[in-house]
Amino acid sequence: MTNSVSQISLPLPEQSAPAAAPETALEPVPATIDFKGISLPVMQVALTRLAPAQIAAAIKTRFGKNASNFFDNDAAVLDLNKVAEETADWAAVKAQLAAASLQLVAVYGGNEALLAGARAAGLAVIDAPPVSRAAPKVREEVPVLDTVVEATPAAEAKPLPAVPVAAAPTPSMAAAMVIDKPLRSGQRIYARGGDLVVLAMVSAGAEVIADGNIHIYAPLRGRALAGAQGDQKARIFTTSFEAELVSIGGVYRTFESPQAFGKLAGQPVQVSLIADASKPDAEPRLNVAPLSTK
């Protein structure tokens, strides 16, 4: 028996021939890099202790059950000027702030040992918080004193020259920012150095911030923070009170449900800080009171 093997050969198409290598290789495209200065919302957080349990308790006391929803993953700069500790569990500190939707990115102040530990944990160490560099000057009322000069009884006495009275300096305030469009959930408006006037609704989830007063001639359903630089004389005015949170000079109050508004729901109100005259050392408390529009 003879074994035979059949072999079939097929011609290759001309297109299947290997392509010739390019004569010259393409030059690599250089990577582009650009630097631009921008303004971002940065929260300044001041602590006196860095124990994670105490931070958690302080956050719960200040914001209650809304702690995880109050901020929107904002960058945070930590003020260490009042911290005496030299070591800290920075991972735990960052975790506690992250529970309040704050991302710790930098620290300032504090002792060298504490700052060295922060650097080792990957945090930036800055000279001063960005918000402090742009803080408006404190307005001071300068009393005007009338200078009285009595005439000398001697005949040869010459009259004394008039002493010019210095006029009180005019405070430098930024013009009020006016917003005439509704603010949707997630939007944030900051009037730096002055008042904020809003002529449309502030929706739930929106936030309005001003270094001065806040005037809202429409429903306030989101969050309003007046006196953002610490001005405790600032006020919030709205023609329809339905807020999630209000704050004057860093003193906050949240409203978890419509029942918390009581008789003030949907009514014109003003929000201010008031002090207890019987307790001079007590911190001022937030007061929400009806606002007469007649």
Is residue 254 predicted with pLDDT exceeding 60? yes
Q: Which two tokens stand for residue 167?
A: 């006029």
How high is the pLDDT of residue 61? 73
pLDDT(292) > 90: no
Q: Pick 114 or 294 by higher pLDDT.
A: 114
- The domain 177-290 is placed in CATH, from the list 3.90.1150.10, 3.40.50.10860, 2.160.20.70, 2.40.10.10, at 2.160.20.70
Beta carbons of 239 and 217 less than 8 angstroms apart = yes
The mean of the pLDDT values for the chain is 76
> Do the domains spanning 42-133 and 177-290 agree at the CATH topology level?
no
pLDDT class of 67 with cuts at 50, 70, 90: low
β-strand partners of 70: none
Helices (H), the chain: 52-63, 67-70, 90-99, 112-120, 130-133
pLDDT, residue 63, reads 66
**Domain coordinates in residue numbering, the chain:** 42-133, 177-290
CA atoms within 13 A on the CB side of 168: 10
Residue in the structure block whose two tokens are 């005037």: 215
Q: Are 134 and 115 in contact (CB under 8 A)?
A: no
Q: How many CA atoms lie within 13 A of 206 on its CB side?
A: 20
Other beta carbons less than 10 A from residue 173's beta carbon: 14
Residue 14 scores a pLDDT above 70: no
CA–CA separation, 83 vs 111, rounded Å?
8
Q: Domain 42-133, CATH 3.30.70.260 — does that match?
A: yes
Q: What is residue 202's predicted lDDT score, i.e. its pLDDT? A: 94
Stated pTM of the model: 0.47
More confident residue, 67 or 159: 67
- Asked if residue 107 has pLDDT above 50, the reply is yes
Confidence bin at 141 (pLDDT 50/70/90): very low
Contact criterion met (CB below 8 Å) for 241 and 288: yes
State the pLDDT at residue 255. 84
Q: Specify the amino acid at residue 188.
A: R
248 closest CA partner among 221, 276, 209 = 209
* Confidence class for position 284, pLDDT limits 50, 70, 90: confident
Tell me, rounded to whole angstroms, the distance of Cα 75 from its chain centroid.
9
Per-residue pLDDT band for 177 (boundaries 50, 70, 90) equals very high
Average pLDDT over residues 233-256: 90
Starting at the edge strand that comes first in sequence, how are the strands of the sheet with 207-210 ordered?
A: 188-191, 207-210, 223-226, 245-248, 251-254
Q: End-to-end distance of the chain based on CA atoms, in angstroms?
A: 121
Neighbours of 12 (CB within 10 A): 8
Question: 68-77, 161-170, 198-207 — which is least confidently predicted?
Answer: 161-170
Taking only Cα atoms into account, the Rg of the chain, rounded to an integer number of angstroms, comes to: 32
Dihedral pair phi/psi, residue 66, rounded to 5°: -90, 10
The Cα–Cα gap between 167 and 169 comes to 6
Considering the chain, what percentage of its residues have pLDDT values greater than 70?
65
Over range 64-70, report the average pLDDT: 63
51-55, 244-248, 274-278: segment of lowest average pLDDT: 274-278
